[in-house]
Structure 1
């Protein structure tokens, strides 16, 4: 079973369990700044296959990964307890896939919050290009020194808002990873293999709220054109929940509170 960490456990207020998924190269530790600010809520953070204490596990595709997550949810969360899904980057895409493809129908999902989550590529040509790019990264993660690959990884345009100090800190943090495990997860969940999910998500009966950093131009534009409700965090980049956990958790709490007021 995937490694997981349950903070604040189940309380008696009947508030939802917030289930957190990190991005590629991350782990449950990435949510530490948020867990300290969400003490009113039970919080379940999961290490994705190939990451954290789940490094020894792998997934073949989105469906398998969603099944692994479902196993963790059944183990920790009582039947029909309300759940809020909170995902960053790859974690957001996995939750999007699970919601759009009905992989989480057995659970009482009340809300999906996506940070820097891509809805999918529309054209076959875009998917071919992305597959080629991700395949090249996977080969590097498999065959080269991890520090060398990470140094180039965090030079990508999506991370352009990082200072050199922030970039170095991320690289040092990500050196806990195993390159072959990262490569396996990257190719199993590449954006090239993801369907375009926006229309399915917009037609879902589960509310969705998107979050991105003000400096994350790519995802700010994607969110603006999606037609879904979204918020952006001032002076934050691609990884907004680490750049400004207070502003990030304020948005999370605001959306959860609004949902609960409507429901009651």
Structure 2
């Protein structure tokens, strides 16, 4: 079955991060998430509705693939309903349940927003990539220096799309009416545990030897898995 895979990048990411990703028989649409925040604030459900409207105007079979922040946004698009035949969620958080943790995350992301908007850009990037959850520094495909011209949207994402504002969505996944594959890295202990808690084992794929940035750490295995999943789910 031919169609389009709509790929959503992560925080401080770029559409170009998906440049090396391909699945035989499928077109790949690399979505620039920053354009949704260029003019004004937008909530996560608002993003989901906006993306769905955009996709509904196209023809063919559509698959949604989201990584990290893009995975959280993808969940909102799926829960808003929409023309999705299948979905792949990668290294994503289903949402915090504790209000204290949410408040702490909002405060932390407010600091990141200030650094993204007003700080030295290279220092901001270096500090972001030094986070232990992201694992070893790895080139994802896009030149992050080019994001300097989008820094206002990047900063806004830490406010509008912070995990601290996200509802806990784990209990709502049964509302998603298309086949779903949840992907985590074997070495990404935190997000592997979240994945194991959030979805049934039949929906979970663990990338051997990979960490949080598994689409780039296990490129061939990930692309192969996506192709096989879509063939099985949509045949």
TM-score for both structures, normalised by structure 2 = 0.89
Of the three residues 151, 155, 176, the one matched with 1:183 is 155
**Kept after mapping to 2: 8 A contact 1:147/1:171:** no
Cα shift at 1:173: 2.5
Number of positions where the alignment pairs a residue of Structure 1 with one of Structure 2: 231
**Kept after mapping to 1: 8 A contact 2:37/2:156:** no
Give the Cα–Cα distance (whole angstroms) in 1 for the partners of residues 233 and 48 of structure 2: 24
Flag the 1:112–1:133 CA change in 2: closer, same or farther, 3 A: same
Which runs of structure 2 are paired with 1:88-237 in the superposition (5 Å)?
88-100=67-79, 102=80, 104-105=81-82, 107=83, 109-159=84-134, 161-163=135-137, 166=138, 169=139, 173-178=143-148, 179-228=151-200, 229-237=203-211
Flag the 1:170–1:45 CA change in 2: closer, same or farther, 3 A: closer
Q: Secondary structure at the match of 1:87?
A: strand
Give the Cα–Cα distance (whole angstroms) in 2 for the partners of residues 203 and 226 of structure 1: 14
Give the Cα–Cα distance (whole angstroms) in 2 for the partners of residues 249 and 170 of structure 1: 15
> Which is higher, the Rg of structure 1 or of structure 2?
1
Of the three residues 53, 66, 70, the one matched with 2:52 is 70
Q: Secondary structure at the match of 1:176?
A: helix
- Over 3 Å off, 4+ runs: 54-59, 169-172
Give the Cα–Cα distance (whole angstroms) in 1 for the partners of residues 28 and 64 of structure 2: 10
Gapped runs of 5+ residues in structure 1? 1-13
Give the Cα–Cα distance (whole angstroms) in 2 for the partners of residues 118 and 202 of structure 1: 16
Q: Secondary structure at the match of 2:85?
A: strand
Gapped runs of 5+ residues in structure 2? none
Give the Cα–Cα distance (whole angstroms) in 2 for the partners of residues 58 and 206 of structure 1: 31
1:23 matched to 2:10? The reply is yes
Flag the 1:213–1:58 CA change in 2: closer, same or farther, 3 A: farther
**Kept after mapping to 2: 8 A contact 1:49/1:65:** no
Cα shift at 1:170: 6.1
Give the Cα–Cα distance (whole angstroms) in 2 for the partners of residues 171 and 138 of structure 1: 23
Cα shift at 1:121: 0.3
**Kept after mapping to 1: 8 A contact 2:96/2:102:** yes
Residue 258 of structure 1 is matched in structure 2 by 232
Give the Cα–Cα distance (whole angstroms) in 2 for the partners of residues 205 and 66 of structure 1: 15
Cα shift at 1:241: 0.9
TM-score for both structures, normalised by structure 1 = 0.80
Cα shift at 1:70: 2.8
**Kept after mapping to 1: 8 A contact 2:17/2:141:** no
**Kept after mapping to 1: 8 A contact 2:24/2:227:** no
